Amino acid sequence: MPLVAGVDSSTQSCKVVVRDAETGALVREGRAPHPDGTEVDPGAWWTALRAAVDAAGGLADVAAVSVAGQQHGMVCLDDAGAVVRPALLWNDTRSAGAAADLIEEAGGGETGRRFWADAAGSVPVASFTATKLRWLARHEPANADRVAAVCLPHDWLTWRLAGAPGLDALRTDRSDASGTGYWSPRTGQYRTDLLERAFGRVVRVPTVVGPAEPAGHLAPGVLLPGPDSGGGSPGYRNPPGDPSPGSRTGPLLGAGAGDNAAAALGVGARPGDVVVSIGTSGTVFAVAGAPAADPAGAVAGFADATGRFLPLVCTLNAARVLDATARMLGVDLDRLGELALAAPPGADGLVMVPYLEGERTPDRPTASGSVHGLTLHASTPAHLARAAVEGMLCALADGLDALLAQGATAERIILVGGGARSAAVRRIAPQVFGRPVVVPPPGEYVADGAARQAAWLILGGAAPPDWAVTGAEEYADTPVPAIRARYAEAQPHVLDRVAASSSPPASV
């Protein structure tokens, strides 16, 4: 009964699961929080990973570990392997202007968007690593000059687990490489010309390893309790010039994956499935046999973690819309759900357009959220709670339409992520999507997908081991098209954000 571990280093927290490699049975798990913010010292992820591993009872008995993580975040390393500046995360919108510039420089408009969709699978938006590199080159030239390598959150954590053994040992996988903007899902190769276009020069990037290939070995002692070297300056554990990714005797490290690709692996998504994930981001994605290239920019043409493809739509505003609305109403998430279900479908015309962090799909990086249709009758906590759930789901339903327009089929819609723990979300989703949704039991499907990849690595074979996901429940209801119609009317009418006040609001 070999054991394997999977890690999900996501936006809000780090989760670790330890599972039986053959059956997939859960043996133990742990988690630890991440700091808030869209700019984070990678050292905080390392600290959280160590704490989550500790809470999961350690990794002394596992045969392999894979790390999945939030996509796109820019982790820049200098020649000595130290982090150059805090990572800019996928939901940091400061590089929106850089995205527009990259499209303009490629011919602008439809020509520029088509260039990027064909070359990198996706049209640049502020989320992608390439645009963050452009921002760094323009706004922090001294930091840009120090960059010797750029990698992603999961690449960096895998490298730290290997003992930070030199920049040559950086590894990534297809799914996360496909979110950089300088890797082609169609050819499976880096486009260093696009990296140079974005950053002004070519820097080192992680080697892309196949879905069931090793990325190194867990370095002895790297997770033992004791002083943590943090993220700033891990330094080299191996002599400079020794490119071996860590010790050759510890548990194997898997290639890892972007968190959405890992979720697809964790829920066992197959062609015909559309997964809707409601975490910090809202994502709608499908497993596909061919790469997507959407010049409109709504669908990102990512690769998956099995050798196939993962066309995906992402919104910046999902579970935190519920957090924010619960905060406004002074209730917890369970009560928010009860309130939402107490109001009628359509919330008597009250609509929330939930662009609380700007928005990525549609591309409205400077937008703020809005509430429309206020009347005396609809001015109740229940109506606002309902409008929040419906608005968040309407944005995802628009994503589903975009995915279907790119040729995906939705024989089954699978709902996952922290937001799927809400009974209101599960029950309102079929009304908004116009189709039933399947909800697997609450779980950490990104970490599970990473663990399944680790099991594939040690068991071998042409496909990952069969780990049955049992106990899924179907939620069905009569579609209520009026909810989306009213949302479509309200959606274009939002204000731009104003700069946040530096002082906290006075307590009431």
Ligand X SMILES: O=C(CO)[C@@H](O)[C@H](O)COP(=O)(O)O
Binding site for ligand X (CB under 6 A): 10-11, 70-72, 90, 127, 179, 258-260, 279-281, 283, 312, 314
C-beta closer to ligand X: residue 51 or 341: 51
C-beta closer to ligand ADP: residue 214 or 440: 440
Closest CA to 448 of 66, 31, 17: 17
Q: Pick from 29, 273, 304, 323: which binds ligand ADP (CB under 6 A)?
A: 323
Q: Pick from 138, 204, 421, 497: which binds ligand ADP (CB under 6 A)?
A: 421
CB contact set of 281 (below 8 Å; sequence gap of 6+): 11, 90, 91, 314, 315, 316, 318
C-beta closer to ligand X: residue 381 or 417: 417
The answer to whether residue 426 forms part of the interface with ligand ADP (CB under 6 A) is no
- Note whether 400 and 277 are within 8 A (CB): no
The answer to whether residue 317 forms part of the interface with ligand ADP (CB under 6 A) is no
Q: Pick from 7, 212, 322, 371: which binds ligand ADP (CB under 6 A)?
A: 322
d(C-alpha 75, C-alpha 143), whole Å = 12
Q: What sign has the CA pseudo-torsion 208, 418, 24, 310?
A: negative
Per the DSSP assignment, residues forming a β-bridge with 496 are 367
DSSP state of 504: P
DSSP helix/strand/coil, 150: strand
Q: What angle do CA 312, 195, 137 make, to 5 degrees?
A: 110
Residue 336 tokens read as: 């928010």
Binding partner at 129 among ligand ADP, ligand X, none, C-beta below 5 to 8 Å by kind = none
**Where do runs of H (alpha helix) occur along 268-375?**
319-329, 333-342
- Note whether 360 and 396 are within 8 A (CB): no
**Where do runs of H (alpha helix) occur along 406-444?**
423-433
Binding partner at 178 among ligand X, ligand ADP, none, C-beta below 5 to 8 Å by kind = none
C-beta closer to ligand ADP: residue 13 or 143: 13
- Note whether 241 and 168 are within 8 A (CB): no
Rg for the chain (alpha carbons), in Å?
A: 22
- Note whether 41 and 75 are within 8 A (CB): no
The answer to whether residue 368 forms part of the interface with ligand ADP (CB under 6 A) is no
Binding partner at 73 among ligand ADP, ligand X, none, C-beta below 5 to 8 Å by kind = none
C-beta closer to ligand ADP: residue 88 or 120: 88
**Shortest separation between residue 318's beta carbon and ligand ADP, angstroms:** 8
**Shortest separation between residue 322's beta carbon and ligand ADP, angstroms:** 5
Identify the helix (H) or strand (E) that includes residue 267. Answer: helix 259-267
d(C-alpha 123, C-alpha 156), whole Å = 25
Indicate left, alpha or beta for 376 from its phi (over 0: left) and psi (-120 to 50: alpha): alpha
Indicate left, alpha or beta for 105 from its phi (over 0: left) and psi (-120 to 50: alpha): alpha
C-beta closer to ligand ADP: residue 209 or 424: 424
Identify the helix (H) or strand (E) that includes residue 171. Answer: strand 171-172
Residues 326-355 that bind ligand ADP (CB under 6 A): 333
Closest CA to 450 of 307, 261, 193: 261
The answer to whether residue 319 forms part of the interface with ligand ADP (CB under 6 A) is yes
CB contact set of 482 (below 8 Å; sequence gap of 6+): 345, 346
- Note whether 129 and 87 are within 8 A (CB): no
d(C-alpha 81, C-alpha 278), whole Å = 34
**Where do runs of H (alpha helix) occur along 369-479?**
381-405, 423-433, 445-459
The answer to whether residue 185 forms part of the interface with ligand ADP (CB under 6 A) is no
Binding partner at 246 among ligand X, ligand ADP, none, C-beta below 5 to 8 Å by kind = none
The answer to whether residue 320 forms part of the interface with ligand ADP (CB under 6 A) is yes
- Note whether 428 and 390 are within 8 A (CB): yes
Tell me which residue has its CB nearest to ligand ADP. 418
Binding partner at 323 among ligand ADP, ligand X, none, C-beta below 5 to 8 Å by kind = ligand ADP
Q: Which amino acid is at 36?
A: D
Q: Pick from 216, 282, 417, 430: which binds ligand ADP (CB under 6 A)?
A: 417
**Shortest separation between residue 10's beta carbon and ligand ADP, angstroms:** 3
Q: Choose, from 8, 155, 176, 259, the residue flagged as catalytic.
A: 259
Q: Segment near ligand ADP (CB under 6 A), from 176-184, 347-355, 416-424, 467-475?
A: 416-424
**Shortest separation between residue 319's beta carbon and ligand X, angstroms:** 8
> Tokens 């927290």 sit at which residue?
13
**Shortest separation between residue 417's beta carbon and ligand ADP, angstroms:** 4
Binding mask 246-285 for ligand ADP (x = CB under 6 A): ---------------------------------xx-----
Binding partner at 13 among ligand ADP, ligand X, none, C-beta below 5 to 8 Å by kind = ligand ADP
Binding partner at 356 among ligand ADP, ligand X, none, C-beta below 5 to 8 Å by kind = none
C-beta closer to ligand X: residue 11 or 306: 11
Q: Is 145 one of the annotated active-site residues of the chain?
A: no
Does the annotation place 71 within a ligand binding site?
Answer: yes
C-beta closer to ligand ADP: residue 11 or 247: 11
Binding partner at 264 among ligand X, ligand ADP, none, C-beta below 5 to 8 Å by kind = none
Q: Which amino acid is at 304?
A: D
The answer to whether residue 12 forms part of the interface with ligand ADP (CB under 6 A) is yes
Residues placed in the known binding site for substrate: 71-72
Residues noted as catalytic: 259
Q: What residues line the site for ligand ADP (CB under 6 A)?
A: 10-13, 279-280, 319-320, 322-323, 333, 417-419, 421-422
